[in-house]
A and B are shown apart, each in its own frame.
Chain A
Amino acid sequence: MIKPQHLAGQFIAYSAFAVMIAYFASSPPYQHHPQESALVRLSLTHAGQRVGDCKERSPDELAKLPPNMRAKQNCGRERNQVTLEMDIDGKTVYSQTAKPAGLSGDGRSRFYDSREVPAGRHVIRARMRDGGKPDGFDYDEQVEVELAPRQVFVIDFDEEDKKLSFE
């Protein structure tokens, strides 16, 4: 049985426990991104071009292969690394070269970046090199956008249309 002199103490202790749980369950508030900023998020996975050229198999070569492996072309698995750069208002803010994933280097290269920019008008340019040439870019796109506060502006690669996309 609870002793009468402990009833008040228990009320205080349970109240303090409840206040502590309730307070830190949602307070103090945390500012993740400023209200007036927008967010430019670059998220892209892309497989670079194959390192070696594909070779057409002759009918004799095809005949020697098991029926389930008779692909017309013989291609190497390894892919080129991919370089991606992003400029915002003429200033390069992101430049990264990513190796293809996988033990054989035959997977996709992965890029991710997320950065705050002030809301308002911006010129955003992205360029990507996925082939073997040492300079120049295989894809280069630029867009001028009016970013609203808290807007998330995404830069991706459209694999169907083979171009960098902005949305």
Chain B
Amino acid sequence: MSNPIKSALRAGLFRVESGWDTLVGRESNPMYCLGAMSWFFFWVVGASGLYLFIPYDTSAARAWGSIEHISREQWYWGGMFRSLHRYASDAMVLTMMLHLLREWLMERYHGARWFAWFTGVPLIWMVFSSGITGYWLVWDELAQYLAIGTAEWLDWLGIFGQSIARNFITPAALTDRFFTLLIFIHIAVPLFLLFAMWIHILRINNVNTNPPRQLIIGTALMLVALSLLHPAQSHPAADLGKATAVLNPDWYFMALYPLYDKQGPAIAWTVSIGASVFLCLMPWMALRRKRRPAAVVSPPNCNGCGVCTFDCPFGAVVMRPRNDESGHAQIAVVQPDLCTSCGMCMASCNRTNPFLPHEEPRQTGIDIPDFTFDLIVKRISARSHGLVGDNRVLVLGCEHGAKLDHMKGPSVGVLELQCTGALPPSVIDYILNKDLADGVLVTACRPGECFYRLGPEWTELRLKGERVPKLRGAVPRERVKLSWAASTETKGLMTELAEFRVALAELPKQVRPESTKRRVAE
């Protein structure tokens, strides 16, 4: 469980996101794809950087002039590319830090997800290194400040044979070779960054590194407009014989430098290294969090169809060759270290079907030990038992979303799952077919806000019949409702439930053969 401050912040985040949805539309809300937005900005920075490499002069005497030339003489093209390069890198820092904050607030950093969190920390260093070396290249007064500050900062470590700061002691000390080295670093670090970004998403299945198209178009237009209306400017050319005075730093990259100026290198290193180490260790600091048991495959029930491998958000299920007498070529194998116990694999299995002949307890191809398919079916029977009226509703939802307990009533039963993505569509069919309720309200966190990943997306596609396992076509759609509701939207969900019940009451009574009338499983 998270602390109250974090819960309050998370509730605030959900409210902001909800408001943003209302303002701009869900598809244009960057909060749901902050990681993908960072990828997009990386590509913009890379493409604009490639163009800037052409006119840039790698010499101490002419570096500033070459940048100034394209900024002033070719403001509509070269200058725009320079501004795009700067503003996209700033936006990348912004989305990257928001991404980190959001994942922390949503508790998506521990357990099996330690890898993405842990490998994300070096990305911060790489992004900042890329940005700082880029600012050096301009060789204006800001670059002079950064160069000397960074050199002094690094020299304090005492691990370099020569003092780096001595390169900036007098104008004569600075050589063109230094700029050649600098541009090499400025290109090499982003290449390593790209590689590290790939590692960062390595354990995530169905990863999306592209934001929605309309967000890409809108953001690109915004960056171009900003670049033309408020182009990036250089400070006066660097002069090592003259101390820097008033500067206009890019605070997205340079927020730590004043700390260095005021407190010295020991404090600055302590803060930066300490914060990084703390971030790296965070996944293992949640000592009281008990990790739930990983999914388990039942070999006699697995036919090797592989659907569970497509639906697992973290690639925890893989298919392996099978050499037993089952006749199936492959079998699903769970990698426990990667499993978050969300149950989406269980819902995706074609054996997870309450209509199939079964023994007690019900078995399926892949199951979650502490929240089995058998338990779901039995709880559905129990929660629907005793419901009265003509518009009985069973609410099935996620324990991380709206508070379902608030909806309980004589005609309303609720069942919380670990994730709505763990709901097999055949269970909805079963509820209506066996007359356990007159309608089913499925509620999930809003897409992008899933505590796991992809639960709402898979649920929607399965219910629409666009992804296997599909909700059977014969199921009356007017008796099934899907509602998005974050933990802060319980009230809104209650309103939707009331409307749904009114709509159900107006539907003609279902006539069922006697043989399909309610059966109590418990």
| Residues of A that sit less than 8 Å from B by CB | 2-3, 6, 9-10, 12-15, 17-18, 20-22, 24-27, 29-35, 37-39, 41, 43, 45, 101, 107, 110, 112, 114, 116, 150-152, 154, 156, 167
Contact = CB atoms under 8 A, between A and B. Distances in A.
A35 B246 contact: yes
Interface of B: 20, 22-25, 27-28, 86-87, 90-91, 94, 145, 152, 155, 161-163, 165-166, 169-170, 214, 218-219, 221-223, 225-226, 230, 232-233, 240-252, 258, 261
Contacts of B248: 26-27, 29-30
B140 to A, nearest CB: 12
Contact of A21 (B87, B166, B258): B87
Contact of B169 (A14, A27, A38, A154): A154
Contacts of A21: 87, 90-91, 94, 226
A17 to B, nearest CB: 6
Contact of A32 (B225, B226, B247): B247
B169 A43 contact: yes
A110 to B, nearest CB: 6
B15 to A, nearest CB: 16
Nearest to B245: A35
Contacts of A6: 23-25, 28
B152 A114 contact: yes
Contacts of B240: 152
A31 B24 contact: no
Contacts of A24: 90, 250-252
* Closest A-B pairs by Cβ, 8 of them: A9-B23, A6-B25, A26-B248, A39-B243, A14-B222, A18-B226, A24-B251, A9-B24
Contacts of B233: 26
Given A24-B251, A25-B87, A27-B248, A3 B166 contact: no
28 contacts: A3-B25, A10-B23, A14-B218, A15-B222, A21-B94, A22-B87, A24-B251, A25-B87, A25-B250, A25-B252, A26-B233, A26-B250, A27-B248, A29-B246, A30-B248, A30-B258, A31-B247, A32-B243, A32-B244, A33-B243, A33-B244, A35-B246, A38-B243, A43-B166, A43-B169, A116-B243, A151-B241, A154-B169
Contact of B163 (A2, A12, A45): A45
B191 to A, nearest CB: 24
A43 B165 contact: yes
A112 B165 contact: yes
Nearest to A24: B251
Given A6-B24, A21-B226, A110-B163, A32 B245 contact: yes
B413 to A, nearest CB: 36
A4 to B, nearest CB: 11
A84 to B, nearest CB: 14
A15 to B, nearest CB: 8
B241 A152 contact: yes
B222 A17 contact: yes
Q: Binding site of B, secondary structure by majority: helix, strand, loop or mixed?
A: helix
Contacts of A25: 86-87, 90, 232, 250-252
Contacts of B223: 18
Contact of B28 (A2, A150, A154): A2
Contacts of B247: 29-32
A103 to B, nearest CB: 12
Contacts of A151: 241-243
Nearest to A8: B23
A39 to B, nearest CB: 4
Given A32-B245, A45-B162, A18 B25 contact: no
B243 A150 contact: yes
Contacts of A27: 248, 251
B250 A37 contact: no
Nearest to B250: A25
A152 B242 CA distance: 5
Given A21-B91, A25-B90, A45 B166 contact: yes
Contacts of B219: 14, 17
A101 B94 contact: no
Contacts of B242: 150-152
A133 B82 CA distance: 58
B245 A34 contact: yes
A17 B166 CA distance: 40
Contact of A150 (B152, B214, B245): B245
Contacts of A39: 243
